[in-house]
């Protein structure tokens, strides 16, 4: 286990380096932020001077080397829009994104596991068809449409929850519900198919032949082997919920990392975009590492 963990940690280094290079390349070709930082009436002399001050006049490899050197020092640059260090902006927004993501993920796992187990137990019944329809519909609906419908129903018509913002428990309900609907719809079919496969294995047949209760067979013997897809979906969805919920956070004006990255892209604030995407990439790598370790703890048959 220790040797496996050591190898996985070593793999993080080249992965982060490659991700850093890709992010830098994408931002490099995105456009020139100087045109946004200066007023339209600014002359070419001012533009050239600002470009030199930011180091944008240097060759690509020099800019990348400087960027890597600064990252190793903990310096992700300064946002021209907020006039603040990019890293401090990221650290301010991550708690909001974590609050939203963890809330939505916990609710998604509970709903997805319960519906998936029930759907597998009542296979080929009207209830199974209804749950499968929810799963397909939840994965097909765009997040912006779900967000708008929730706002129209619960904010405009019923006036139960606020439209946007953060700070109270009511503010988190609608954006978390949006993400829960979309995420739980992905968990349900995984749990259902895994449970159906497990219920046809030899050790489950043996448990049934011993006269064990159906609830004991499902929760004590079968459910453990369905946890691997749950861990997988958590590992896939948590980074997405933290930094990838751009549309949901933007619609509800949730001051998280996703909205910060969106504003950075819209305003060509390269330092914020780079720092934000790097934060999401780092979270993704760490979550994947934790999920790999969890696989081994759940199922010892998984090889290191």
**Residue ending a domain, choose from 52, 75, 98:** 75
Is 303 within a domain? no
269 touches 79 (CB < 8 A): yes
Residue 6 and residue 94 in one domain? no
Give the C-alpha separation, 96 to 239, whole Å: 14
Is 124 within a domain? yes
Residue 159 and residue 34 in one domain? no
pLDDT in tens, the chain (304 residues): 667 677 777 888 888 888 888 888 877 776 666 766 677 677 778 778 877 777 777 888 888 888 888 888 888 888 877 888 888 889 898 899 889 988 998 999 899 888 988 888 888 899 999 999 999 998 888 888 999 999 999 999 998 999 888 888 899 999 999 999 988 998 888 888 888 887 777 777 777 777 777 667 776 667 777 777 777 777 777 777 776 577 888 889 888 888 888 888 877 787 888 888 888 888 888 887 887 777 777 666 655 5
Is 150 within a domain? yes
Residue 69 and residue 126 in one domain? no
Which pLDDT score, from 0 to 100, does residue 177 have? 93
Is 60 within a domain? yes
Which pLDDT score, from 0 to 100, does residue 51 have? 77
Residue 69 and residue 176 in one domain? no
Residue 271 and residue 219 in one domain? yes
Residue 43 and residue 161 in one domain? no
Which pLDDT score, from 0 to 100, does residue 299 have? 63
Is 80 within a domain? no
Is 234 within a domain? yes
Residue 187 and residue 246 in one domain? yes
Closest CA to 112 of 232, 286, 215, 254: 232
Which pLDDT score, from 0 to 100, does residue 227 have? 72
DSSP string, 278-301: HHHHHHHHHHHHHHHHHHHHH-TT
Is 82 within a domain? no
Residue 124 and residue 217 in one domain? yes
Is 27 within a domain? yes
Residue 215 and residue 280 in one domain? yes
When divided into structural domains, the chain yields a total of 2
Which structural domain range is residue 135 located in?
A: 87-298
Q: Specify the CATH number for the domain of residue 173.
A: 1.10.3720.10
Residue 118 and residue 189 in one domain? yes
**Residue ending a domain, choose from 75, 105, 133:** 75
Which pLDDT score, from 0 to 100, does residue 32 have? 66
Residue 103 and residue 138 in one domain? yes
Residue 50 and residue 139 in one domain? no
Give the C-alpha separation, 83 to 10, whole Å: 36
**Residue ending a domain, choose from 44, 75, 106:** 75
């Amino acid at each position: 286990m220790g040797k496996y963990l050591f190898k996985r940690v070593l793999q993080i280094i080249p992965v982060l380096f490659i991700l850093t290079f890709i992010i830098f390349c994408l931002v490099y070709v995105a456009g020139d932020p100087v045109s946004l930082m200066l007023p339209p009436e600014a002359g070419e002399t001012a533009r050239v001077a600002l470009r030199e001050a930011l180091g944008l006049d240097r060759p690509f490899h020099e800019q990348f080397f400087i960027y890597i050197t600064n990252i190793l020092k903990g310096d992700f640059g300064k946002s021209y829009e907020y006039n603040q260090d990019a890293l401090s902006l990221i650290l301010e927004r991550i708690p909001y994104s974590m609050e939203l993501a963890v809330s939505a993920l916990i609710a998604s796992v509970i709903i997805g596991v319960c519906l998936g187990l029930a759907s597998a137990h009542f296979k080929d019944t009207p209830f199974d068809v209804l749950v499968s329809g929810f799963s397909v519909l939840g994965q097909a609906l765009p997040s912006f449409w779900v967000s708008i419908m929730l706002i129209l129903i619960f904010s405009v018509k019923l006036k139960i929850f606020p439209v946007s913002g953060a700070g109270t428990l009511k503010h988190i309900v609608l954006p978390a519900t949006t993400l829960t609907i979309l995420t739980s719809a992905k968990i349900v079919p995984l749990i259902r198919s895994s449970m159906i496969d497990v219920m046809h294995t030899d050790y489950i047949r043996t448990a049934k032949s011993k006269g064990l209760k159906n609830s004991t067979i499902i929760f004590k013997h079968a459910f453990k082997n369905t946890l691997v897809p749950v861990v997988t979906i958590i590992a896939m969805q948590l980074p997405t919920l933290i930094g990838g919920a751009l549309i949901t956070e933007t619609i509800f004006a949730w001051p998280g990392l996703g909205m910060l990255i969106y504003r950075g892209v819209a305003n060509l604030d390269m330092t914020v975009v780079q720092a934000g995407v790097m934060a999401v990439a780092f979270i993704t790598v760490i979550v994947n590492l934790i999920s790999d370790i969890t696989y081994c703890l759940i199922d010892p048959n998984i090889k290191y």
